[in-house]
C-alpha cells in the first residue's frame, strides 16, 4: 500500500458500516486520518472501536458532517441522504471506496463496468491473467472491498475491479490503465433519476484516461460506436460479434484479436450470444495485458460461470441444470435463452411483480418444452404461456417446481432458472433463490 500523506490528521466521515466502509475506515485510520464511522442501523463495530475509531450507529446525526473534511460513503447510499446532501452543500469531497483504492494501490488497475456481463467478464479477465502467470486480484462490486484488495496488492500484480454506477459517481482521480464498458441499457433509474444520469456515472470510468490508456467498448451498440468512441481521450479498442473491428471480433464462427485467431465459438464453455461478447471483452482486455493465447483458450473453454449467473450446476439422472437467478429482468432472461436448444429446455420464471408485462419474451420463448411458474407474476406468465401454447406448471417456488417437474422431464433435457423477475416476493435476495435451487438439484443428483 502506498503510504500517502494526504489523509494525515484529516477529519473523515465514513458513511456505511458494510464491508467497504469497514475496510475504508481501517485504511484511513492507518494513514493518519481522524475517522468517524456512521450507519443508520443500530449495530456495533468492536473491531473499529478497538482501534480508537469513533462509531455512531442507529441514526444519521447531521452534526457528524459539520466538522468533516471528507466523506467516504457506501456506494448504495443515495445522494439524497441527509448527510450526503449536507456534504454537497458544504462542498465536501465525496468518495466511494474505489477512489480510495486507486489512491493507495501500488498495483495497476483494470476496471470494468456495464449493465450486464460485468461480473462474468471481470472473473474471466482475472482467471486468464493468473493462468498466464500474471498475478491478478479480483476487487470491487464483485464482493471484495476495493480498498482492502488495493492495500494488499503489490506493484507486480494487477487489481481487476468490477465497478458499479454507484461507485463511479464518487470518482475524482480514479484512473485505470484499461477500462471496459460491457454494454449500456436502462436500469437503476430509481437511484440515478434518469438514463442520462446513469450513463454519465458509467462514463466516469474513463474521465481521467489518456491516449496511453485503453478503453474497450462493445461496438454491437450504436451508442458505443457513434458516441462514446468519439468523446474519450483514451485509445479505443472495440469488440463486435457483427463486424470485423480493430480489436476483438467474431467471424465465421471464430474469435479473433486484431486478425489473430484465438478460439472457435463452439469451444466456449458458456452458452449464449451474450457470453460470446463477454469472451471477446475478456480477450481484448487480456491481450492488451500480455496474456498468452493458450491461457485465454484454456479459461474460455473450461470456465464454469460465476455463481448465480448462468452457472452450470451439473447433471442429475441425465438432466442438465443452469442457475441464472441473477436474471432479474427481461433482458437478462432473453440473453440467457439464446444459448440453449429450446426443444429440450424447461425454464423457471416468475417472482416480484414490478408492474411490467412479459410480452417481450415471446420471440425468445418460441418452441421451449415448458415453463415452471411461481411468484407474484404467476398470472402474467400463465397468460403468456397460454397465448403461446407453451406447456406450463404453476408451483409455490423454485424448489417445489424442480421437485414436481423433474420426473416429467426426459434424459437430455435442460432445466434453466432464469426468472426475468426480482426475488423479493419470496426470498431475501436472488442469491438465496439460487442457493435453494442448487441445494434441491444436488439432492436429485444423489437419488
Residue 66: other Cβ atoms inside 10 A:
12
The C-alpha atoms of residue 292 and residue 217 are separated, in whole angstroms, by 22
Beta-bridge mates of residue 72 = 14, 95
Q: Is 115 annotated as a binding residue?
A: yes
Alpha helices in 313-357 (DSSP H): 330-337
Alpha helices in 1-42 (DSSP H): 19-30
Which helix H or strand E contains 370, and what residues bound it?
strand 370-373
CA 328 to chain centre: 13
Q: Is 329 annotated as a binding residue?
A: no
How is residue 283 written as a grid cell?
Answer: 480477450
The C-alpha atoms of residue 418 and residue 415 are separated, in whole angstroms, by 10
Q: Is 116 annotated as a binding residue?
A: yes
Cβ atoms of 108 and 125 closer than 8 Å: no
Which helix H or strand E contains 271, and what residues bound it?
none
Q: Using the CB atoms, write b or e for 193-225: b if 16+ within 10 Å.
A: eeeebbbebbbbbbbbbeeebbbbbbbbbeebb
What Cα–Cα distance (Å) separates residue 260 from each residue in 131, 300, 425? 20, 16, 48
Q: Which residues, in sequence order, are CB contacts of 27 under 8 Å at separation 6+?
A: 1, 100, 104, 147, 148, 151
The C-alpha atoms of residue 28 and residue 292 are separated, in whole angstroms, by 38
The C-alpha atoms of residue 28 and residue 44 are separated, in whole angstroms, by 19
CA 242 to chain centre: 24
Q: Quick one: residue 188, left, alpha or beta (phi over 0 = left, psi -120 to 50 = alpha)? A: left
DSSP states of 31-78 as a string? TT-EEEEEESS----HHHHHTT-EEEESS--THHHHS-SEEEE-TTS-
| Pick from 218, 255, 212, 217: nearest CA to 235 | 212
Q: Is 114 annotated as a binding residue?
A: yes
Q: Is 119 annotated as a binding residue?
A: yes
| Pick from 397, 418, 423, 434: nearest CA to 308 | 434
Cβ atoms of 336 and 330 closer than 8 Å: no
Annotated binding site for ATP: 114-120
Q: Which residues are known binding-site members? A: 114-120
Amino acid at each position: 500500500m502506498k503510504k500517502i500523506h494526504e489523509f494525515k490528521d484529516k477529519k473523515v466521515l465514513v458513511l456505511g458500516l458494510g464491508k467497504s466502509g469497514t475496510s475504508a475506515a481501517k485504511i484511513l485510520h492507518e494513514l493518519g486520518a481522524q475517522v468517524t464511522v456512521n450507519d443508520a442501523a443500530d449495530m456495533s463495530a468492536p473491531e473499529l472501536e478497538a482501534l480508537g475509531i469513533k462509531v455512531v450507529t442507529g441514526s444519521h446525526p447531521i452534526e457528524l458532517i459539520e466538522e468533516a473534511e471528507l466523506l467516504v460513503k457506501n456506494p448504495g447510499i443515495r445522494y439524497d441522504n441527509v448527510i450526503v446532501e449536507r456534504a454537497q452543500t458544504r462542498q465536501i469531497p465525496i468518495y466511494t471506496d474505489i477512489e480510495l483504492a486507486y489512491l493507495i494501490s501500488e498495483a495497476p488497475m483494470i476496471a470494468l463496468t456495464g449493465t450486464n456481463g460485468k461480473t462474468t467478464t471481470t472473473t474471466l479477465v482475472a482467471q486468464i491473467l493468473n493462468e498466464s502467470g500474471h498475478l491478478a486480484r479480483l476487487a470491487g462490486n464483485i464482493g471484495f472491498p476495493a480498498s482492502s484488495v488495493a492495500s494488499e496488492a503489490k506493484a507486480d500484480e494487477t487489481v481487476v475491479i468490477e465497478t458499479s454506477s454507484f461507485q463511479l459517481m464518487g470518482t475524482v482521480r480514479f484512473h485505470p490503465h484499461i477500462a471496459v464498458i460491457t454494454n449500456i441499457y436502462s436500469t437503476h433509474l430509481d437511484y440515478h433519476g434518469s438514463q442520462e444520469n446513469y450513463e454519465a456515472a458509467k462514463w466516469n470510468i474513463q474521465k481521467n484516461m489518456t491516449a496511453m490508456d485503453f478503453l474497450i467498448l462493445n461496438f454491437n451498440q450504436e451508442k458505443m460506436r457513434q458516441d462514446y468512441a468519439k468523446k474519450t481521450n483514451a485509445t479505443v479498442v472495440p469488440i463486435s460479434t457483427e463486424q470485423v473491428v480493430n480489436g476483438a471480433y467474431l467471424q465465421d464462427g471464430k474469435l479473433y484479436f486484431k486478425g489473430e485467431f484465438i478460439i472457435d465459438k463452439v469451444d466456449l464453455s458458456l452458452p449464449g450470444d451474450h457470453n460470446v461478447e463477454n469472451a471477446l471483452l475478456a480477450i481484448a482486455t487480456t491481450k492488451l495485458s500480455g496474456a498468452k493465447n493458450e491461457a485465454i483458450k484454456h479459461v474460455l473453454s473450461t470456465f464454469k460461470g460465476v455463481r448465480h449467473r448462468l452457472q452450470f450446476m451439473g447433471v442429475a439422472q441425465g438432466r442438465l441444470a443452469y442457475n441464472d437467478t441473477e436474471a432479474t429482468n427481461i433482458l437478462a432472461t432473453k440473453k440467457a435463452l439464446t444459448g440453449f436448444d429450446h426443444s429440450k429446455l424447461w425454464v423457471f420464471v416468475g417472482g416480484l411483480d414490478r408492474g411490467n408485462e412479459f410480452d417481450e419474451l415471446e420471440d425468445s420463448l418460441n418452441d421451449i418444452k415448458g415453463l415452471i411458474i411461481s411468484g407474484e407474476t404467476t398470472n402474467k406468465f400463465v397468460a403468456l404461456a397460454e397465448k403461446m401454447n407453451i406447456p406450463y406448471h404453476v408451483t409455490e417456488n423454485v424448489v417445489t417446481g424442480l421437485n414436481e417437474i423433474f420426473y416429467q422431464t426426459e434424459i437430455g433435457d435442460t432445466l434453466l432458472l432464469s426468472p426475468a423477475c426480482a426475488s423479493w416476493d419470496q426470498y431475501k435476495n436472488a442469491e438465496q433463490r439460487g442457493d435453494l435451487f442448487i441445494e434441491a438439484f444436488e439432492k436429485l443428483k444423489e437419488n
